[in-house]
Amino acid sequence: MEQKRILHPEKKYEKAPSEEMSISVELGGKRKLLTNDDRDVILNVAELFNQERQDSKNYKIYGKIKMVFRNMYSGTTFYDFLTSKLSLVGDGSDSEWTGYLPYNEFAFLRQDVLRETNPIVKISNLYDFTGFTTTITGTTGSTLHNTITPINAPYFNWNIYLSYVYAHDTNFPMMYTLSGSTPPLSFVSGDGIPFRVSYNGGTYKLTSPVEHGMNQGEYILLDGYPYYINYVGDEIYNSDKYVINIMRSQIPSSVTTFSNVIVTGKRCLDKDNITGTTSQYYVHKVKILRRVDDYILDKAGFETPIWKDEKKLLFENSEGTNDVIVERNRMESVLFDIKEPVILTGLTNNLGYLPTEVYVSIILRNGNGYFEYPPKVGYKFNFHNYWIDEYFSGSGSQESGLTGTQFTRNGNGQSFLFTSGNTVPIGSVLTGSFVEYVPTEMKERVISESLHKFYCDSHNFNYGQTGDTATFSGATVDNPFGYFYQPHYRIKLRELSPYVETTDVLNIENLPQNAKYFSNENLWKWRDLYEHGYIDDLGYGTDYPFMNNIHYVKTDINFYLKNEELYTNKADGLYSFNSITNNGQDKINC
Amino acid sequence: MKIVTQDTDLSLNLNIQNDFKLDLGREDNLKEFESETLRDIINPIENYETSRFIHKPYSGITINPNDLISDIWFEFYFYRTYTMYGQTFYTHIGGMDYELVGITKSQNMKMLKQSTQSFFRLEFFKVPSGQKPEKSNRRLVFSRDLSLPLGERVLGRIDNQVDAIEDWDYLYVPVFVGSNYRNKENMYLFWFQDDSSFEAEPILTGNTFYMTARFFNAGDGSIINFSNKDKSITDNISENDDIYFEVEIDRTDYSYQIFRYNGVRGDRIGKSGDPIRFYEIAGGA
């Protein structure tokens, strides 16, 4: 006989709220026999609303993006059109045309659009007024390099896409570089996390440039061999997240692993079950869900970020035009709105179940082509405070899911080659986060978000990106320094429980899609899918406004666009209070 | 007493939970039917999400057909009365002047209440499919106010034009531009992306609207109606043909267009160089 166990509501998942299961019937009451086939239904609007809410698969994605950026590279160009637009370091009175790229080249909403304006009509008698003759303004837009109109301006520099993680890649090529003559270590994502090896006399210290996620008492798998982690951290604050220590006494004398300067390691929980308890490391593959024109970008009314705009009035620009206002920085706050709701059905994420999160992907479009395209993809450990990473040399690290179109323009008797980005069609695949998956916990941990790096072709705009500077070394023609940003921003639609549920009952109904059978333990394991409107005591859960059969998911994104040369918070996250380097200027720049 | 034993069962054992399957799934069907009925009659899910519709972009700003703008232009003409050779004339020519409706240059220039609280109202109506709009069959679905200070300005002479010293200042004129770059409130329309919730009221479904305008004068409290064409003060006004412009929204690209309307749809109007012109109705029947 088939056995079924019916769970009470409070047993649906840990700490699930209880529900009324019985109806109190007063002793005194009117009673009427139901006639044959009549139905008696208790109406409960709150319950019905909750049912509709749980059943709805529609999610409206919208929110705000705030640009956090300071335009720090000043340089020169022979392209006279661009020279006339530069935000000059001086005021133009000395014929010195060194300057910063105008902020419009970085803006979400360009303001230098070609548009019609009304000339000021001077008229004595209004009965003579017959309307305006519109004119194309000569100061707010130009057709010389590219024509930017109010219609294409929000899509010209950056594009916003909706995406989700549909697969992962354990063979994504990676590299970790140290300064000086140490050869870089090339590895693939599945090899784990890079560590710098040092010997303290009795203990090998492994320092990771990213959070290693390991604990004392666990194991680290190096060259396939599990080493016991004796303790984590050193004398520096927060170092337990980056440093692990292995006693030399446990290392066989024949092992050469620790003679390397850099190694890669994986987290392992049980040395007797290496296969089942070793973390998997991979890179997310992100698939585009929507087209480029499926969103609206608009100004956020009345919001003024705390950082200042930087404008100046030039005496004259390189064209000899007097009293030109140039803009080096503008603090932008824009609203984005994905027009159509996401219908969360029919998708499968990299772990084989319906995604619980989607991504807002902000991708450089580079309409004017001043930057090399496509951007390169790296991770946090590919960016260093004082030197450039070999990983970015050449074109091998370019984002393969993005393509560009080349065009030329002439100026000063020379030809200049530019590459602007193409729109990314639905189904395109981009590179996402570097992730650790812990099989026993059935949980992913983001080691590093993917980062896009871009820079100018030095022929088009030269800010010294191909050589050493006073504070930054290693850049070459093949490996210039530039800007970097995080392209993919996670948006939680559903919440999986932070704990793992288990059962040894084989035939259990309504298991979540993420349930897996662990044959060595004879257990089903899964993470509960929290209902909408439920937030547990740890803060996990979702409670989005629900109406029109749509969940309204609002997301605010701080978009950090960083200068690779000057941003000095790229190191491991380890900051010794006493360690002052770089002539005492080891402060954080933007 | 005698206990009699026999081989036959004297009782029938029933489980607490029974599933005799006597109803051949009827109970399940009824549950489903019950659920569907409840969803239909109690708080059915309706989608009242409104979307923003932009004036459909058009080319012409450059010779490149891919260079698009979406500016929309409105002009409002009041009746001007003047006397020449002892004869009184009525015309819309030279009618873009708020003085013609009693808002003086001074009130206009100084942004006094008469000026700032006067406004044009664009009214959008729906009519049953296949019918021409008229008061008996139209339903006002939304409106858009163009307040006087949202309009364009000219540098006008505000002295009496007799004194030797000229006095010039900026004056608002009844010309309005809607743009996604500036004056956004003059341009965007908001309507339901999904009109399936209005199936019970078919008049509210569909993509076609009819637009007309009125002017609310804060100076004297008067209300002025407008026609879609320049009609003489003695001409009759046909409500079907002379009042409205046709508005068509496109739910696929979230845009709208406005067309001339003379009982039937005419050309697109509202682009740069071809503004939507409203003319004051001062007479007729």
The interface pTM score, or ipTM, of the predicted complex is 0.83
Contact B97 A123 (CB under 8 A): no
Which residues of B are less than 8 Å from A293 in CB distance? 253
Which residues of A are less than 8 Å from B154 in CB distance? 120-123, 126, 129
Record the tokens describing residue A195, joined without a space: 């560590």
Does A140 touch chain B if contact means CB atoms closer than 8 Å?
Answer: no
Using CB atoms, pick whichever of A48, A129, A147 lies closest to residue B67.
A147
Contact A122 B64 (CB under 8 A): no
Interface test with A, best of B91, B172, B180, B254 (most A CBs within 10 A): B180
Instruction: Please count the residue pairs, one from chain A and one from chain B, whose beta carbons lie less than 8 angstroms apart.
Output: 118
What count of Cα atoms within 13 Å lies in the side-chain half-sphere of residue B265? 13
Q: How far apart are CA A243 and CA A231, in angstroms?
A: 9
Minimum CA–CA partner of A39 in chain B: B34
What count of Cα atoms within 13 Å lies in the side-chain half-sphere of residue B179? 19
Minimum CA–CA partner of A296 in chain B: B52
SS3 assignment, position A9: helix
Rounded percentage of chain B residues whose pLDDT exceeds 90: 58
Say if residues A590 and A566 touch (Cβ distance below 8 Å). yes
Mean pLDDT (whole number) for A305-316: 88
Which residues of A are less than 8 Å from B75 in CB distance? 131
Residues B38-97 pLDDT 10s:
777 776 788 898 999 999 999 988 888 989 999 999 999 999 988 888 888 889 999 999
Lowest mean pLDDT among A144-153, A351-360, B27-36: B27-36
Mean pLDDT (whole number) for A568-585: 56
Q: How far is A55 from chain B (nearest CA, A)?
A: 11
Q: Is the pLDDT of residue A588 over 50?
A: no
- The residue that leads in pLDDT, A294 or A507, is A294
Contact B173 A126 (CB under 8 A): yes
Does A143 touch chain B if contact means CB atoms closer than 8 Å?
Answer: yes
- pLDDT-based confidence at A281, cuts 50/70/90? very high
Residues A418-457 pLDDT 10s:
999 999 999 999 999 999 999 989 999 999 999 999 999 9
Does A149 touch chain B if contact means CB atoms closer than 8 Å?
Answer: yes
Q: Is the pLDDT of residue A358 over 90?
A: yes
- Is the peptide bond prior to A374 cis by the omega test (within 30 degrees of 0)? yes
Contact A147 B75 (CB under 8 A): no
Mean pLDDT (whole number) for B255-270: 95
Which residues of B are less than 8 Å from A549 in CB distance? 45-47
pLDDT value for B14: 58
Minimum CA–CA partner of B151 in chain A: A118
Q: How far is B4 from chain A (nearest CA, A)?
A: 35
Does B49 touch chain A if contact means CB atoms closer than 8 Å?
Answer: yes
Question: How open is the CA angle A274-A276-A281, to the nearest 5 degrees?
Answer: 85
Using CB atoms, pick whichever of B153, B173, B181 lies closest to residue A150.
B181
Interface test with A, best of B61, B100, B198, B272 (most A CBs within 10 A): B61
Average pLDDT in chain A: 88
CA distances from A515 to A57, A162, A243, A500 (A): 20, 27, 34, 10
- pLDDT-based confidence at A511, cuts 50/70/90? confident
Contact B67 A114 (CB under 8 A): yes
pLDDT value for A46: 85
Q: Is the pLDDT of residue A533 over 60?
A: yes
- pLDDT-based confidence at B285, cuts 50/70/90? very low
Q: Is the pLDDT of residue A222 over 70?
A: yes
User: How many other C-beta atoms lie within 10 A of the C-beta of residue B28?
Assistant: 10
Rounded percentage of chain A residues whose pLDDT exceeds 70: 90
Q: How far is A549 from chain B (nearest CA, A)?
A: 6
Residues A327-357 pLDDT 10s:
999 989 999 999 999 999 999 999 999 999 9
Mean pLDDT (whole number) for B188-208: 88
Contact A124 B42 (CB under 8 A): no
Say if residues A189 and A308 touch (Cβ distance below 8 Å). no
Average pLDDT in chain B: 87
Q: Is the pLDDT of residue A137 over 80?
A: no
Going by their DSSP bridges, the two strands A280-288 and A158-169 should be labelled as: antiparallel
Record the tokens describing residue A207, joined without a space: 């320092």
Contact B42 A43 (CB under 8 A): yes
Q: How far apart are CA A540 and CA A16, in angstroms?
A: 12
Q: Could you give the dihedral angle defined by the CA atoms of residues A514, A515, A521 and A523, in that order, rounded to the nearest 10 degrees?
A: 160
- pLDDT-based confidence at A45, cuts 50/70/90? confident
Which residues of A are less than 8 Å from B181 in CB distance? 113, 115, 150, 153
Lowest mean pLDDT among A218-227, A405-414, A508-517: A508-517
Interface test with B, best of A61, A104, A109, A116 (most B CBs within 10 A): A116
Amino acid residing at A590: C
Q: Is the pLDDT of residue A524 over 50?
A: yes
Residues A481-501 pLDDT 10s:
999 999 999 999 999 999 998
Using CB atoms, pick whichever of B93, B161, B181 lies closest to residue A113.
B181
Contact A41 B275 (CB under 8 A): no
Q: Is the pLDDT of residue A590 over 50?
A: no
pLDDT value for A582: 44
Which residues of A are less than 8 Å from B80 in CB distance? 127
Mean pLDDT (whole number) for A96-115: 94
Q: How far apart are CA A305 and CA A66, in angstroms?
A: 8
Q: Is the pLDDT of residue B7 over 90?
A: no
pLDDT value for B13: 63
Does A170 touch chain B if contact means CB atoms closer than 8 Å?
Answer: no
Does A549 touch chain B if contact means CB atoms closer than 8 Å?
Answer: yes
Residues A227-260 pLDDT 10s:
999 999 988 888 999 999 999 988 888 888 888 8
Does B273 touch chain A if contact means CB atoms closer than 8 Å?
Answer: yes
Minimum CA–CA partner of A339 in chain B: B51
Residues A375-413 pLDDT 10s:
999 999 999 988 899 999 999 999 999 999 999 999 889
- pLDDT-based confidence at B284, cuts 50/70/90? very low
Contact B47 A548 (CB under 8 A): yes
Record the tokens describing residue A218, joined without a space: 């666990």
Contact A122 B154 (CB under 8 A): yes
Three-state secondary structure of chain B: CCCCCCCCCCCCCCCCCCCCCCCCCHHHHHHHHHHHHHHHHCCCCCCCCEEEEEECCEECCCCCCCCEECCEEEEEECCEEEEECCEEEEECCCCCCHHHHCCCHHHHHCCCHHHHCCEEEEEEEECCCCCCCCCCCCEEEEEEEEEHHHCEEEEEECCCCCCCCCCEEEEEECEEEECCCCCHHHCCEEEECCCHHHCCCHHHCCCEEEEEEEEECCCCCCEEEEECCCCCCCCCCCHHHHCCEEEEEECCCCEEEEEEECCCEEEEECECCECEEEEECCCCC
Which residues of A are less than 8 Å from B254 in CB distance? 339
Contact B96 A143 (CB under 8 A): no
pLDDT value for B40: 74
Residues B123-148 pLDDT 10s:
999 999 889 999 999 999 999 999 99
